[in-house]
């Protein structure tokens, strides 16, 4: 790893850290380790509650769950069942007090009224800690669970996502903060003039409203976005407050960072109001050799045939066209031809070409973090690598993807965080109580507010 | 009240009790009582968690929440905002251990894959305590939140509901109980041959599956139904395991009970496998006079103009056609012309005609329980009334709708339940751990089971 540059004066804040949680860990073979318990899956809530409490003890900004409403790919080679993310977030909200809670939900396979209501509800139950990772959900397998033969086209999905968000914003704003008066004497419980009916009529949606949930503590949940295609970046520039992204090199990450911040400015928003968090997979050892041994231990548990099938689906080729000990075929589709996970596709192809990896080597590189950057080293080396990206304008923080859970998250908190704290780069205690406060973002006023809105929730 | 008849030998079991929970209580003016706290609403989870704990301390079978995805009627005269019921159930599951948890969800405004997943998820989180009250959701106001100008016709909604349930059953069964093998050595996490793809293709839905949640502790949630129209009863006969219903007289309740049990038999199911629970609104006093005074106190807080508007919407007439001190107009629509809440409509019109009630009197009768039977009296009188309906073949138990919450539920548990227990009519301790066990119902096997299924959840 390179020596970090001096921290620039232009970045006075601290970095933001999200724990991306996933069953027994992000490494696809993590469940096969001796340490992994049978209940370290996405359908055992006690496991997920334990992980959230660990992240909260580390004072992380938030925890996050990916999601798609379907079983995808070959079933049976790694933990596959996952509870509904709204249920998961609620169960975590009840057993935690400060950490932010971010769930993924699809704008393609939900109705805006129902989903806006669910996130407002979680924001109430968690006292202002809800976040929504907005996805358009790629893949024909999932489309077939919802009466479609194939997914809607990429551009159509993103157009629908933007309108979905407009509708959701109107619904979240539909009760002014001070709509509830609860005057027993006069019998007026709410001021009907402060409950608004959006009457949205658009291309994809027609929604009367109002929402049947009063305005929530954060006004609306934190909006997160994780697609890095052109459409994805444009959606993020208009709406996102935090962005999860995947980059292998500092240069790629810096380019993405500059691009998204300038798109945000062009969309009429303050670039400081979107936090960019590249994913990292920390493989931590007391020595560099120990970390590398851990990485090897995990990679040797990968099942190459299974992983090759997964790679083939991602690249839209036949598994037989991917001999394990050769490089990727020359004639792969261009990103334009890919209808889902466009930017991930490009990242993987570029990684393989740049480093002239065989399919087997590529599978090893992807097994840990599916295209995210793996950092195998000592706590000091990992802290250096994070600081470098932070100082050099590639990140406002990181999406921490522990290869093994809970141990990888515990190691990160116990060994990497103290170094970041010593350098003044990460908080020692929560300063706010809401997810927006953790990310340094203001509570939005209702667009319908007829009088100065209260700053606290109702 | 009449003296109860001797308990019939043909009914060896105990009765089942569900606590129907609603903000500050079922009486529409309950929020105006001095005792009602400002946070006794449907959007403060601590209030709802407190109610569920009270019901669990009383060893009730279950708690239940009504729901509709919209703000209905005139807003502002009583607590109106309610958290998403899936969020509520999950938050209750985490702070309770034994009581069953039943939420209402619409087959008209949800996708089967998403909703089946949510209930399976709650069943996992609660270790087998989830129940789903299946509704088709009446009302044009709600339809307008989902891109429709008006609700689909009654018959179409029920046809869709039946197919929705068929799809949900297939999805809940899609993982066999023993599909997960978690063999680290061979790298096989699940036996793909025991995860089935329903590939449902029907009139309303096309759903490939499998579900992305392993089979849940109860196999599937308890199915509850609460519509008493002809279509509603037919749906209940085919699918319901518990039925909530509203009757004012013993004769009406007996007729409904016999009718539904015989329809269940005709649908090829054991009539014992559907539990019928009429709603009751207990207004409890140490003396009969004290109970009646409490009833008056509540009724005097009703706002007649607001209540008349609500009645007018229910009867599909103009409020101006309902002078407060006259009986209902003679020329009301027939039930056939009503596209939602058909049976409630008929119940209210029959009640008004039978007792020759003025609009003002009718409003008083409906203010407490919206058509459910109000029992105002001593604990002994209320226990007698419940026993009479139970002994005389009108009920397998009751849906307890406390007029004021939490006090009305606490009084019922502290004063009525001990009498029922002395008579051997209600449990003193939970005997099972799942909602199905509380209601005396077996865990269903997966339709796809290729080998004897395990009886315990995974």
State ipTM: 0.94
Nearest residue of B to residue A210 by CA position?
B71
Does a cis peptide bond (omega within 30 degrees of 0) precede residue B210?
A: yes
Taking an 8 Å cut-off on Cβ atoms, the answer to whether A188 and B86 are in contact is: no
CA distance to partner chain A, nearest, from residue B226 (Å): 22
- For residue B114, the chain A residues in CB contact (below 8 A) are 69, 84, 109-110
Contact A128, A109 (CB under 8 A): no
Q: By mean pLDDT, which of A301-305, B232-236, B292-296, B365-369 is the weakest?
A: B365-369
d(CA A33, CA A301): 8
Q: Is the pLDDT of residue B10 over 90?
A: no
Q: Of A31, A38, A84, which is closest to B117 when you measure between CB atoms? A: A84
**Which one, of B14, B8, B10, lies nearest residue B397 by Cα?**
B14
d(CA B444, CA A330): 53
Radius of gyration of chain B (CA): 22
**Which one, of B227, B221, B264, B239, lies nearest residue B62 by Cα?**
B221
Per-residue pLDDT, averaged over B13-31, amounts to: 94
pLDDT band at B13 (very low <50, low <70, confident <90, very high): low
Taking an 8 Å cut-off on Cβ atoms, the answer to whether A84 and B121 are in contact is: yes
CA distances (Å), origin B59, targets A429, B62, B379, B429: 42, 9, 18, 6
Contact A345, A314 (CB under 8 A): yes
Per-residue pLDDT, averaged over B414-442, amounts to: 97
The domains of chain B, with CATH numbers, are 16-438 (3.20.20.30)
Q: Of A114, A188, A208, which is closest to B76 when you measure between CB atoms? A: A188
Q: Of B29, B121, B301, which is closest to A83 when you measure between CB atoms? A: B121
- For residue A71, the chain B residues in CB contact (below 8 A) are 195, 210-212
Instruction: Quick: pLDDT tens for A200-227.
Output: 999 999 999 999 999 999 999 999 999 7
Q: By mean pLDDT, which of A449-453, B103-107, B374-378 is the weakest?
A: A449-453
Share of chain B above pLDDT 90, in %: 81
Instruction: Locate A142 and state its tokens.
Output: 């999932």
Q: Is the pLDDT of residue B155 over 60?
A: yes
Q: Of B91, B124, B301, which is closest to A90 when you measure between CB atoms? A: B91
Taking an 8 Å cut-off on Cβ atoms, the answer to whether B80 and A184 are in contact is: no
pLDDT band at A13 (very low <50, low <70, confident <90, very high): low
Nearest residue of B to residue A70 by CA position?
B212
Query: Facing residues of B276 across strands?
Result: B243
Q: How many residues does chain B have?
A: 458
d(CA B376, CA A345): 68
| Residue of B34, B71, B141, B305 best to disrupt the A interface, most CBs of A under 10 A | B71
**Which one, of A122, A121, A83, lies nearest residue A102 by Cα?**
A122
- For residue B33, the chain A residues in CB contact (below 8 A) are 184
Radius of gyration of chain A (CA): 22
Q: Is the pLDDT of residue B457 over 70?
A: no
- For residue B192, the chain A residues in CB contact (below 8 A) are 74-76
pLDDT band at B301 (very low <50, low <70, confident <90, very high): very high
d(CA A245, CA A57): 25
* DSSP 8-state secondary structure symbol assigned to residue B278: E
d(CA A12, CA B409): 55
| Residue of B40, B41, B43, B140 best to disrupt the A interface, most CBs of A under 10 A | B43
Q: What's the mean per-residue pLDDT of chain B?
A: 92
Residue B450: predicted pLDDT: 78
Q: Is the pLDDT of residue A60 over 60?
A: yes
CA distance to partner chain B, nearest, from residue A447 (Å): 19
Beta strands in B97-204 (DSSP E): 100-106, 130-135, 180-183, 188-190, 200-201
| Residue of A28, A38, A85, A125 best to disrupt the B interface, most CBs of B under 10 A | A125
Instruction: Locate B68 and state its tokens.
Output: 């509709």
- For residue B117, the chain A residues in CB contact (below 8 A) are 69, 84
Q: Is the pLDDT of residue B82 over 60?
A: yes
Q: By mean pLDDT, which of A3-12, A97-106, A414-423 is the weakest?
A: A3-12
Residue A456: predicted pLDDT: 44
Per-residue pLDDT, averaged over A381-398, amounts to: 98
Nearest residue of B to residue A78 by CA position?
B189
Sign of the torsion angle spanned by Cα atoms A289, A290, A294, A295: negative
Nearest residue of A to residue B32 by CA position?
A184
Taking an 8 Å cut-off on Cβ atoms, the answer to whether A212 and B81 are in contact is: yes
C-alpha dihedral (B237, B238, B242, B246), degrees to nearest 10: -40
Place of tokens 């997964």: A310
Q: Is the pLDDT of residue A3 over 70?
A: no
CA distances (Å), origin B434, targets B1, B48, B101, B171, B340: 36, 20, 10, 20, 33
Q: What distance lies between CA B190 and its chain's CA centroid?
A: 37
Q: What's the mean per-residue pLDDT of chain A?
A: 92
Helix axes B250-266, B379-391, angle to 10 degrees: 40
Nearest residue of B to residue A146 by CA position?
B207
């Amino acid at each position: 790893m390179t020596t970090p540059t001096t921290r620039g004066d232009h970045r006075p804040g601290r970095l933001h850290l999200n724990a991306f949680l996933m069953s027994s860990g992000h490494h696809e073979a993590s469940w096969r380790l001796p340490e992994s318990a049978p209940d370290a899956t996405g359908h055992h809530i006690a496991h997920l509650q334990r992980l959230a409490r660990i992240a909260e003890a580390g004072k992380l900004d938030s925890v996050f769950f990916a999601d798609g409403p379907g079983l995808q790919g070959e079933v049976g080679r790694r933990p596959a069942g996952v509870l509904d993310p709204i249920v998961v977030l609620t169960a975590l909200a009840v057993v935690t007090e400060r950490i932010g809670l971010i769930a993924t939900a699809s704008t393609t396979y939900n109705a805006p009224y129902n989903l806006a209501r669910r996130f407002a509800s979680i924001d109430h139950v968690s006292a202002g800690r809800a976040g929504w990772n907005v996805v358009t959900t790629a893949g024909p397998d999932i489309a077939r669970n919802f009466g479609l033969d194939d997914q809607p086209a990429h551009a159509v999905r993103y157009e629908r996502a933007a309108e979905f968000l407009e509708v959701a914003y109107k619904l979240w704003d539909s009760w002014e903060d001070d709509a509830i008066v609860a005057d027993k004497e006069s019998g007026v419980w709410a001021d009907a003039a402060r409950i608004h009916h959006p009457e949205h009529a658009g291309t994809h949606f027609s929604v009367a409203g109002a929402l049947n949930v009063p305005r929530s503590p954060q006004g609306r949940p934190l909006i997160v976005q994780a697609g890095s295609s052109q459409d994805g970046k444009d959606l993020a520039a208009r709406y996102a407050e935090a962005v999860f992204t995947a980059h292998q090199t500092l240069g790629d990450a810096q380019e993405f960072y500059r691009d998204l911040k300038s798109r945000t400015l062009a969309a009429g928003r303050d670039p400081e109001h979107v936090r960019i968090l590249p994913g990292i997979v920390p493989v931590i050892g007391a020595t560099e050799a120990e970390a590398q041994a851990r990485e090897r231990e995990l990679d040797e548990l990968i099942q190459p045939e299974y992983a090759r099938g997964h790679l083939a689906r991602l690249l839209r080729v036949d598994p037989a066209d991917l001999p394990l000990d050769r490089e990727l075929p020359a004639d792969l589709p261009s990103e334009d031809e890919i209808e889902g996970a466009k930017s991930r596709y490009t990242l993987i192809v570029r990684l393989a070409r740049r480093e002239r990896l065989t399919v087997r080597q590529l599978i090893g590189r992807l097994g840990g973090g599916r295209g995210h950057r793996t950092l195998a080293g000592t706590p000091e080396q990992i802290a250096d690598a994070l600081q470098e990206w932070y100082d050099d304008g590639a990140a406002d923080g990181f999406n921490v993807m522990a290869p093994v859970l809970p141990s990888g998250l515990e190691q990160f908190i116990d060994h990497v965080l103290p170094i970041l704290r010593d350098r003044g780069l990460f908080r020692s205690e929560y300063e706010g109580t809401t997810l927006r406060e953790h990310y340094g973002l203001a509570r939005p006023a209702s667009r319908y507010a007829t009088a100065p809105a209260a700053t606290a929730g109702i």
